[in-house]
């Protein structure tokens, strides 16, 4: 029997408005006011400068390992800029710029990467989830938030971030399938920075784009120039408006590049060439947007100094924070603390009250004796 075409071959669009050479497609240029453009640029600059300062702090041993964002500022800010405060933002582990835009204080982010549990706690009225380290696990959570908003009749939209590596996880496909079936108001933003740690995109998928994966789940997908903040904004605004109008989810593939290390524990020279990095540096989103604003005479004198001063003050506040309470290691694990953990907590509390005095030495056991469980066998 002859084969029957069930539906026409679908297509995926690519959007670029301001390219790396400074060419502007004026017909697609979004209508952003001078104040909005200045605000976007300041946020991108703050994200870049803060990121660079965090790298220095980590190298000095003043914070722990984290994932730098250098090169991905446009992907984050062009998209998060389209959200209302009542919408939800769900980050992975490389969304520092988006978090700052959403109101996370700089010193709170520093506290998180210094190991303070308080650093990962959103404000009570903040519609954000905390940083998520396991790859892709935040995607079903975001769909659940969107399902809840839809169920309650709320017009909130959920925007969730993830990298190209997460598209190789089952969580990604499950989340897209659930979102498509239930037609929930969620915007998936894939920051395709070309590398899942040391695994290049070509070894993750045979698809020409990540955006086309949306088609299998019955939702639109679009690929954008992730270093063009105007293109990211335009695509995200359209997706957010669709979701808020009840027209369902969208997958945005934001093609960008991680100019720095995967995390501060990584050495990218082991798996990529300097020539590749140099080529992408020519597409830097910050210098591209700066040139665009310069033509519009919208650059502010002294902005870099003011941003650096803001970061320095945040570092001062962070380092003035009292040491964390060691007893918090027992919190937020069980709804009701089991007896064995309560006993350990009480013992640690006693030890701290007594100034950290060592526990008494158990009595010596006779030669050949077998220690009881929990007893240390000592010989004198």
pLDDT in the model for residue 164: 98
Same domain, 35 and 129: yes
pLDDT in the model for residue 373: 47
Is residue 247's pLDDT more than 60? yes
Residues of the chain with pLDDT > 90, as a percent, come to 87
- Whether 63 is covered by a domain: the verdict is yes
Please identify which of the residues 271, 316, 334, 342 carries the catalytic annotation: 271
pLDDT in the model for residue 350: 94
The model's confidence at residue 14, banded by pLDDT at 50, 70 and 90, is very high
Same domain, 147 and 245: yes
**Helices 285-295 + 73-80 axis angle, to 10:** 60
pLDDT in the model for residue 88: 98
Q: How far apart are CA 33 and CA 26, in angstroms?
A: 15
Which CATH number do you get for residue 304?
A: 3.40.50.970
Q: How far apart are CA 177 and CA 165, in angstroms?
A: 18
Give me the mean pLDDT over the 185-197 stretch: 98
Same domain, 190 and 336: no
Same domain, 104 and 243: yes
- Whether 4 is covered by a domain: the verdict is no
- Whether 369 is covered by a domain: the verdict is yes
Is residue 367's pLDDT more than 60? no
Same domain, 271 and 191: yes
Q: Is 41 a catalytic residue?
A: no
Same domain, 302 and 378: no
Last residue of one domain, picked from the residues 288, 319, 350: 319
Q: Is the dihedral of CA 334, 335, 338, 341 positive or negative?
A: positive
Same domain, 335 and 314: no
Radius of gyration of the chain (CA): 25
Please identify which of the residues 48, 94, 242, 258 carries the catalytic annotation: 258
Give me the mean pLDDT over the 192-220 stretch: 96
Which tens digit of pLDDT belongs to each residue from 277-317? Answer: 999 999 999 999 999 999 999 999 999 999 999 999 999 99
Q: Is 369 helix (H, G, I), strand (E, B) or coil?
A: coil
- Whether 332 is covered by a domain: the verdict is yes
Same domain, 120 and 259: yes
Same domain, 253 and 345: no
**Residue 105 Cα to chain centre, angstroms:** 15
The model's confidence at residue 1, banded by pLDDT at 50, 70 and 90, is confident
- Whether 1 is covered by a domain: the verdict is no
Contact 115, 324 (CB under 8 A): yes
Q: Is 258 a catalytic residue?
A: yes
Is residue 374's pLDDT more than 60? no
Q: Is 233 helix (H, G, I), strand (E, B) or coil?
A: helix
Give me the mean pLDDT over the 230-248 stretch: 98
User: Tokens 């380290």 map to which residue?
Assistant: 133
Distances, alpha carbon 235 to alpha carbons 186, 216, 240, 368, in Å: 14, 20, 9, 75
Give me the mean pLDDT over the 223-241 stretch: 98
Q: Is 338 helix (H, G, I), strand (E, B) or coil?
A: coil
pLDDT in the model for residue 38: 98
Same domain, 191 and 50: yes
Q: How far apart are CA 204 and CA 207, in angstroms?
A: 9
Same domain, 302 and 367: no
**Whole-number average pLDDT of the chain:** 93
Which tens digit of pLDDT belongs to each residue from 32-89? Answer: 999 999 999 999 999 999 999 999 999 999 999 999 999 999 999 999 999 999 999 9
Please, how many CA atoms are within 13 Å of residue 219, restricted to the half-sphere of its CB? Answer: 30
Please identify which of the residues 94, 262, 288, 292 carries the catalytic annotation: 262
Q: Is 271 a catalytic residue?
A: yes
- Whether 6 is covered by a domain: the verdict is no
Note down the domain range covering 378.
326-380
The model's confidence at residue 376, banded by pLDDT at 50, 70 and 90, is very low
Residues 6+ apart with CB under 8 A from 195: 164, 165, 201, 258, 262, 268, 271, 272
- Whether 293 is covered by a domain: the verdict is yes
Last residue of one domain, picked from the residues 279, 302, 319: 319
> Domains in the chain: how many in total?
2
- Whether 52 is covered by a domain: the verdict is yes
Same domain, 67 and 211: yes
Q: Which of 131-135, 332-336, 361-365, 369-373 has the highest mean pLDDT?
A: 131-135
């Amino acid at each position: 029997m002859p084969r029957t075409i069930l539906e026409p071959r679908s297509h995926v669009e690519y959007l670029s408005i301001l390219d790396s050479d400074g060419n502007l497609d004026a017909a697609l240029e979004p209508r952003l006011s001078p104040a909005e453009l200045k605000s976007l640029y300041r946020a991108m600059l703050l994200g870049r400068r803060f990121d660079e300062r965090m790298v220095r702090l980590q190298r000095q041993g003043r914070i722990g390992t984290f994932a730098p964002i250098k090169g991905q500022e446009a992907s984050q800010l062009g998209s998060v800029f389209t959200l209302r405060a009542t919408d939800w933002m769900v980050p992975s582990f490389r969304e520092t710029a988006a978090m700052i835009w959403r109101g996370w204080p700089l010193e709170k982010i520093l506290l998180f990467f210094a190991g303070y549990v308080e650093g990962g706690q959103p404000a009570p009225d903040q519609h954000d989830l905390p940083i998520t380290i396991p790859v892709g696990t935040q995607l079903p959570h975001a769909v659940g938030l969107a399902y809840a908003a839809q169920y309650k009749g709320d017009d909130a939209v959920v925007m969730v971030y993830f990298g190209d590596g997460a598209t190789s996880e089952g969580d990604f496909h499950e989340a897209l399938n659930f979102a498509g079936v239930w037609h929930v108001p969620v915007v998936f933003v894939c920051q395709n920075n070309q590398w899942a740690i040391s695994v290049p995109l070509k070894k993750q998928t045979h698809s020409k784009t990540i955006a086309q994966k949306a088609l299998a789940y019955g939702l639109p997908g679009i690929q954008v120039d992730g270093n063009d903040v105007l293109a990211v904004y335009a695509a995200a605004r359209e997706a957010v408006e669709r979701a808020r109008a009840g027209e369902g989810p969208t997958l945005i593939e934001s093609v960008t590049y991680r100019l720095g290390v995967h995390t501060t524990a990584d050495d990218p020279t082991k798996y990529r060439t300097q020539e590749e990095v140099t080529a992408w540096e020519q597409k830097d989103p910050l210098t591209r947007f700066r040139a665009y604003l310069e033509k519009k005479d919208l650059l502010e004198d002294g902005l870099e100094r003011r941003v650096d001063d803001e970061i320095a003050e945040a570092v001062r506040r962070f380092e003035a924070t009292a040491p964390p309470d060691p007893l918090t290691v027992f919190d937020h694990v069980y709804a009701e603390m089991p007896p064995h953990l309560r006993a350990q907590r009480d013992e640690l509390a006693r030890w701290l009250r007594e100034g950290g005095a060592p526990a008494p030495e158990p009595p010596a056991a006779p030669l050949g004796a077998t220690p009881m469980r929990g007893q240390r066998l000592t010989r004198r």
